[in-house]
Amino acid sequence: MTVLDRLAALRAEMKKEGLSAYVVPGNDPHASEYMASHWFEMQWISGFNGESGTMVITMDRALLWTDSRYYLQAGIELKGSTIELMRESDIDCPSITDWLSEQMANTDGANGNYMVGVNPEMFSVDEFARWNKSLNLKSVDLIKPIWTESRPAIPQSILYPYSADFAGESVESKLARMRDLLNRQSPVTNHHWSLLISALDEIAWLLNIRGNDVEYNPVVVSYAVLENDKCTLFVDPAKLDSPARNYLDFNNIDTLPYEAVFDYIRSLSGTVFYDGAKVNEALFEAIPDTCLKRNIQSPILVDKAKKNAVELEGERIAMRQDGAALTRFFKWLEEEAFKPSNLQTSEPLTEWSLMEKLHEFRAKGLNFKDESFGTIAGYNGNGAIVHYAATADKCAEVKPEGMLLLDSGGQYLDGTTDITRTVWLGGPVPEQAKLDYTYVLKGHIALATARFPRGTRGNQLDALAKQYMWQAGITFGHGTGHGVGHFLGCHEGPQNVRTDNNPTPLEIGHIVSDEPGIYRTGKWGIRTENLITVIPAPRTEAATTEDEWLAFETLTLCFYDTSLIEMSLMTQTEIDWLNAYHQRVYKEIAPLLNADEAEFLARKCEALKA
């Protein structure tokens, strides 16, 4: 079926249900950012392959809402589909609910005849409630009856235990802490309570389990219900081999089939806790009316974000492995990739072949399991597409001249990495490229070296990374920093660094990325990214209050391309920071390299002078 065929089939189903519009979000039932392909419903109906977007289909129009990361990509992929691109960050772009409300007002919707269909499994409780305030929603799954051909099955990879040697805490300890917290939140002493858990990374963290059900994310497609007297995992029995069953039995974790979660929830009594931002509407509707329903922020989400000492040390180990792999890759790129003898005897060098080569180096690392997301290798203008995704048959040839943006990461048993480096491949560096790179680097350093009182939120620090490019009249549309999991999702909350008013303060043990960028359509993209973690900072002698102060420790270990720096814009403090960082990179990475590789790294880490 073509996109036009799919839209026609969906409209036929809408007509049967008496719907004026149908919404297909880029979600799965677990509020995942990265999903199993079984739930790529938005991508299937639209032909747009971005990770974030929502489709709205009426009887005569089809529209895709997405954010600034995907404008260029969507413009290309939607051609010929009749689907209109709605650019979310544009001032004049209405929200989906506002747009649908306007359509309803322009018809006989005021009489209740403008009905909007949604699959309740794809909407969180909170989002469904917000939409239902202004729209007439009908819960119905219209994708299932039309996506019957070649729809991927729900994955069935084997669940495996994740050792407390890596996690830093036993399942018993985690369950006891969660139960203690929820006992204190329960409205009645010794009252039965349940916590619905649908987020895959929260289940993996709580039960110290991992899997291979979602690309780049070591999670298991499942649900869980934690109660004051037991814990039940809802998972396909095909995922449980003997070691998995023995592990779950040993930790007193009951199992039931994945689909049994709805009947189980219908049998609950007492208080039911759920995170309305995560739990889907279909699960919520299964809770008996006799239960007391309590919408709370998931205590697992909060605890998981604050890495313990073992997790942080694991991250440092993973960063050294990652830094060694990147050193070897950049050495190969600079010294081998463009040799005439290699180019004459092999296929042209492309973004895709660079991605494969980087994976080859990274896969040799100790405890490496997978990449943490699809590598972004953007050559020249492709680097300006923030979430550019090259494929084997659709990628640019890379030549020994111009700009390369490389955003990549690894999943190690020790931890998760995410790093972006932008390098110049040869030829004279344009003056604007040096200015852009230096604005980005200065902002990157400003955030990395920030000191702030406890209670500070990420949005209060966001401008530090943007201040220099703002003075030059430049900005970027993506977040400056996202949370990162520990051998889990490369993106996690609740903490972040971005303009949005996130009420979550930065806490000791939080890991966030530091990744400002500048993007010039058709020319280049420049982004510099390290992972940083929140640590205590000593009070200064000049302090006037007893506030507790915090700072960041940089975890990522990889050199910067200093050939792109406009030194006249750098302060001595910034140069000193960069030199100290490069000294540390060499000290920690060189022992993992052979002599030639260490010599290459030493050159890249040479001290800069003002």
> What is residue 258's predicted lDDT score, i.e. its pLDDT?
98
CB 389 within 8 A of CB 49: yes
Residue 538's pLDDT band (cuts 50, 70, 90): confident
Residue 388's pLDDT band (cuts 50, 70, 90): confident
Question: Is 248 inside a domain boundary?
Answer: yes
Q: 245 is in which domain, residue-wise?
A: 160-305
Q: Is 39 in the same domain as 119?
A: yes
> What is residue 109's predicted lDDT score, i.e. its pLDDT?
53
**Interval 143-163: pLDDT, tens:** 999 999 899 999 999 999 999
Q: Is 215 in the same domain as 227?
A: yes
Of 352, 353, 381, 364, the C-alpha closest to 327 is 364
Question: Is 205 inside a domain boundary?
Answer: yes
Q: Is 301 in the same domain as 314?
A: no
Q: Is 90 in the same domain as 37?
A: yes
How many folded domains does the chain comprise? 3
Question: What CATH number does residue 133 fall under?
Answer: 3.40.350.10
Q: Is 48 in the same domain as 115?
A: yes
> What is residue 307's predicted lDDT score, i.e. its pLDDT?
98
> What is residue 345's predicted lDDT score, i.e. its pLDDT?
57
Q: Is 488 in the same domain as 528?
A: yes
Q: Is 50 in the same domain as 131?
A: yes
> What is residue 519's predicted lDDT score, i.e. its pLDDT?
97
CB 376 within 8 A of CB 408: yes
Q: Is 332 in the same domain as 252?
A: no
Q: Is 523 in the same domain as 567?
A: yes
Q: Position 428: which residue type?
A: P
Q: Is 407 in the same domain as 522?
A: yes
> What is residue 89's predicted lDDT score, i.e. its pLDDT?
83
Q: Is 467 in the same domain as 532?
A: yes
- DSSP class of 506: P
CB within 8 Å of 203: residues ≥ 6 apart: 197, 209, 219, 220, 222, 223, 224, 233
Question: Is 148 inside a domain boundary?
Answer: no
Which of 277, 305, 333 is the last residue in one of the domains?
Answer: 305
Question: Is 333 inside a domain boundary?
Answer: yes
Rounded to two decimals, what is the model's pTM? 0.92
Which of 305, 323, 353 is the last residue in one of the domains?
Answer: 305
Question: Is 195 inside a domain boundary?
Answer: yes
| 421-443: average pLDDT | 97
Question: Is 154 inside a domain boundary?
Answer: no
Question: Is 209 inside a domain boundary?
Answer: yes
**Interval 434-452: pLDDT, tens:** 999 999 999 999 999 999 9
Question: What CATH number does residue 362 fall under?
Answer: 3.90.230.10
**Interval 230-269: pLDDT, tens:** 999 999 999 999 999 999 999 999 999 999 999 999 999 9
Which of 80, 110, 139 is the last residue in one of the domains?
Answer: 139
Q: Is 278 in the same domain as 348?
A: no
Question: Is 144 inside a domain boundary?
Answer: no
Of 514, 526, 513, the C-alpha closest to 435 is 526
Of 27, 60, 67, 61, the C-alpha closest to 43 is 27
Q: Is the pLDDT of residue 495 over 90?
A: yes
From 98-102, 278-282, 541-545, the region with the lowest mean pLDDT: 541-545
